[in-house]
Amino acid sequence: MTAAPSLSARTGRSAYRSVDPATGELVAEVPTATDAEVEDALTAAETGFRAWRARPIRERAAVAARVGELFAERADELAAIATQEMGKPLSEAREEAQFCAEIFAYFAEHGPDLAADQPLPTPHGTGRAVLQRRPVGVLLGIMPWNYPYYQVARFAAPNLVLGNTVLLKHAESCPRSALALQRLLDDAGVPAGVYRTLFATHAQIEDVIADPRVQGVSLTGSERAGAAVGALAGRHLKKAVLELGGSDPYVVLDTDDVVASARAALATRLGNTGQACNSNKRMIVSADIFEEFVAELTRAAAALVPGDPSVEAPDTYAPMASRAAAEALAAQLREAVEAGATLHTGGTLAEGPGAYLAPAVLTGVTPETAAHHQELFGPVAVVYRADDDDAALALANDTPYGLGGAVFSTDPERARRLAEQLECGMANVNAAEAEGAGMPFGGVKRSGYGRELGPLGMDEFVNKRLLYIND
């Protein structure tokens, strides 16, 4: 493959770079914005907000519905871009685009009712009181590379329906996905200035957060990035939503079929090549089935071979999003083994520039091991042994994160009792997750704060205004 010409070489500016993680080859570059371009985007977003909020909410919802239709129509095109840009298996990339269609359709249909005025009882029964939900203005979204469409959709869809305007800073490694999204929203009839992609530097983003025209910021990313953005937002008195790391427990109390349960756990863990915030990064398995569970995990993981993510083939695994990410995860695994953990299979890096890391199974991780407290963001299954339900619960909650969690048992009530005590934002019984446009997403502790999707997704960046009329 011949690398695309470097725009940054012509402009002298740094660039957002699209690199195929399967080959390590440069596909495209987009230069970072000038300060004048950032100012133009801010001005357009503020101007666009005044016109956009004035339109009836059902008109805004109709535009969102068209966005959803285009996501469905362009699912194959969008999938091909994401697969080449960050290594996502083609079938999963297609499903991601289709899920975005569902998200926009959900808020197009339900948004007007979710944002409707809510009558309130008044003091002493006098007058009339209404709780109104009104847009707040220009919002900044800072989005990651692991779900280049879905992360944007769950932030942008409810806020566009509400009447807010969006400035979107995508990951530096996903410029083609960002441009494809911009084209899609433009083609759907989103007015100029209402949704604008910013190829901004970190320094420029700091200025955008500080700008008085911006009323809020939403970030999905690492714990470190969240801490930095949260501090900036707080300093400038801006509302923030932060969806950060996770180390979700996946508790298997008992099962009628250990082999099937282990294979289901591995399939969940390898979704998006393990690069999902709410993936089952810690499998906590009852002692009486632990050895068989680990043995089957090991057999299944060891049977996988590297594959081309653009070719849908069984028994293969895709590259991670970058060689640097794969190398960092391999280093974490080495450190865990040096600290006494057992690596049953995988963890090896493929030779060459590709970002392939063989799926790994790790046991013997103790609280004294760094890996016990870290997020292993990639194809690694860490398995813990639990002697009873109390021990399983203690392990599940022994983490600085609190995004999601799942508990499995042939006795749903037993699983529910344990799930009720999980310290997380999304607890599931006999399911890895409850995925859907109407299901709120978010966590507690160091996994961040705020919620996206569902009814709560309409309630973050909104002025909940009281209107009282004294009759």
* 464 membership: H or E segment, kind and range: strand 462-469
Separation of alpha carbons 304 and 323, rounded Å? 19
Whether the Cβ atoms of residue 403 and residue 297 lie closer than 8 Å to each other = no
Phi, psi of 120, deg, nearest 5: -125, 145
Whether the Cβ atoms of residue 445 and residue 438 lie closer than 8 Å to each other = no
Active site residues per annotation = 243, 277
Whether the Cβ atoms of residue 358 and residue 330 lie closer than 8 Å to each other = no
Separation of alpha carbons 96 and 177, rounded Å? 12
Residue 149 makes CB contacts below 8 A (sequence gap 6+) with: 71, 78, 82, 96, 97, 100, 177, 181
Among all chains, which residue has been given the structure tokens 């049977």?
303
Among all chains, which residue has been given the structure tokens 């083994």?
337
Measured in residues, the chain has a length of 471
Separation of alpha carbons 160 and 155, rounded Å? 9
Separation of alpha carbons 267 and 26, rounded Å? 30
Strands 15-20 and 25-31: antiparallel
Separation of alpha carbons 272 and 19, rounded Å? 17
Q: How is residue 379 annotated by DSSP?
A: S
Separation of alpha carbons 282 and 422, rounded Å? 14
Separation of alpha carbons 435 and 99, rounded Å? 10
Select from 122, 105, 17 the least CA-distant residue to 63: 105
Crossing angle of the two packed helices 90-114 and 57-73, in degrees rounded to 10:
170
